[in-house]
Amino acid sequence: MYSKKVLEHFTRPHNQGVIKNPSGVGMVGNPTCGDMMKIYIKVKKDVKKREVISDIKFETLGCASAIATSSMITDLAKNKTLEEASKITRNDVAEALEGLPPIKMHCSNLAADSLREAIKDYQKKKKQ
């Protein structure tokens, strides 16, 4: 039922854990199943003075798809500018995982939504 890529990221997730003193944190829960995802980002300026996600980690309490999509979104967002990272969609994540079973597509919302929340959190803190 799961692709090889999903199983790889579920059994050996990338970037799992916490960032101390993060630039932004996003937490989203799935009302249907009660699963939760938290994403931490560290933002730095690159040589062109663009704001880039230099580090990203996740903590997820959820199903295999939720873990795999968390892991994949951290890979997709790392070293991207905030603008590029905020354009990552749930379909991008599902495609990078070589597909998710249709009944599991809702799980990929958590990843894209919590990344956007983390970026929003960073932007809010920056204004203060």
Nearer to ligand FES, 19 or 63 (CB): 63
Nearer to ligand FES, 72 or 82 (CB): 72
Query: What is the C-alpha to C-alpha distance for residues 76 and 79, in angstroms, rounded to an integer?
Result: 8
Beta carbon of residue 3, minimum distance to ligand FES (angstroms, whole number): 15
Of 59, 13, 23, nearest to 39 (Cα)? 59
Is 33 an annotated catalytic residue?
Answer: yes
Beta carbon of residue 110, minimum distance to ligand FES (angstroms, whole number): 6
Beta carbon of residue 83, minimum distance to ligand FES (angstroms, whole number): 27
Site residues (vs ligand FES, CB under 6 A): 30, 33, 35, 62-63, 65-66, 107, 110
With contact defined as beta carbons under 8 Å apart, do 115 and 123 qualify? Answer: no
Of 9, 84, 93, 100, nearest to 41 (Cα)? 84
Nearer to ligand FES, 10 or 40 (CB): 10
Is 63 an annotated catalytic residue?
Answer: no
| Candidates 85, 107, 110, 115; catalytic one | 107
* Strands ordered across the beta sheet of 36-45: 24-29, 36-45, 51-61
What positions carry a catalytic annotation? 33, 107
